[in-house]
Amino acid sequence: GENVEQHPSTLSVQEGDSAVIKCTYSDSASNYFPWYKQELGKRPQLIIDIRSNVGEKKDQRIAVTLNKTAKHFSLHITETQPEDSAVYFCAASISYGGSQGNLIFGKGTKLSVKP
Amino acid sequence: NAGVTQTPKFQVLKTGQSMTLQCAQDMNHNSMYWYRQDPGMGLRLIYYSASEGTTDKGEVPNGYNVSRLNKREFSLRLESAAPSQTSVYFCASSSRGWSGVGANVLTFGAGSRLTVL
């Protein structure tokens, strides 16, 4: 089955710096890659996602890139702010027919943004 | 529009006791899921229900049972709780089965923190 590896497990940056979190997946058939953010004590929430027919997607200060050949995808946060401090999870799934498969999550990255 | 509601928020059990976590969604989603979250382990899928009337095992189903009561409700039961089941449990739902924008975007409940002594 699919396996998703996520690095680093913890990341500390100064406010205003950029942060990059990387994930690799094992199943080349995976074609949907979301990122979820979980603030302390809260529920995970989707922040951005990308499908395999796209190499990059941006939404304001966050962007996700996908390299299908190498089977890895990354989350980029620019101009980090203290409110970006959270645990970030990457995930992967396979769609077949008209249905999406189950998401397999990475183990998470705890991002700390120091003021 | 409450989204995904799960109860209880906190529960302490003794080893061997049983309990049921309840989950309900009001978004007319066809798919529902139970995940557990442990430090350093991410979110692991316990059971899921792709559509009303079906349930399937996820990555870590041992020690759990589920019931999809109707389209809105999906419960998780621990028949004989063990300390290894101490965790935070999240229910989630999605409109899986639709390949359009938003397909399989998970909406999570607030979580249930379970401690087994």
Question: Along chain A (115 residues), what's the average pLDDT of each consecutive run of 10 residues?
Answer: 93 98 95 94 94 89 96 97 97 74 92 96
Take residue A3 and report the two structure tokens written for it.
């396996």
* Residues from chain B contacting residue A108 (CB–CB below 8 Å): 40, 42
Which of A102, A104, A109 to mutate to probe the B interface, most B CBs <10 Å?
A102
Determine contact, residues B36/B60, Cβ cutoff 8 Å.
yes
Closest-CA residue of A relative to B41 is A107
**Ramachandran class of B83: left when φ > 0, alpha when ψ lies in -120 to 50, beta otherwise:** alpha
CB contact under 8 A, A100 and B110: no
Q: Give B71-104 pLDDT, tens digit per residue.
A: 999 999 999 999 999 999 999 999 865 555 556 7
Q: What stretches of chain A adopt beta strand conformation (E)?
A: 4-7, 10-14, 19-25, 32-38, 45-51, 56-59, 62-67, 72-77, 86-92, 95-96, 99-100, 104-105, 109-114
| A 16-35 → B contacts, CB under 8 A | 32, 34
* Residues from chain A contacting residue B103 (CB–CB below 8 Å): 32, 95, 100
* Residues from chain A contacting residue B25 (CB–CB below 8 Å): none
What's the whole-number mean pLDDT along residues B59-78? 96
Rg (CA), chain B: 14
How far is A90 from A99, CA to CA, in rounded Å?
A: 20
Q: Give A47-79 pLDDT, tens digit per residue.
A: 999 988 888 999 999 999 999 999 999 999 999
Which of A43, A49, A104, A109 to mutate to probe the B interface, most B CBs <10 Å?
A43
CB contact under 8 A, B105 and A6: no
How far is A74 from A21, CA to CA, in rounded Å?
A: 6
What confidence score (pLDDT) does residue B50 get? 86
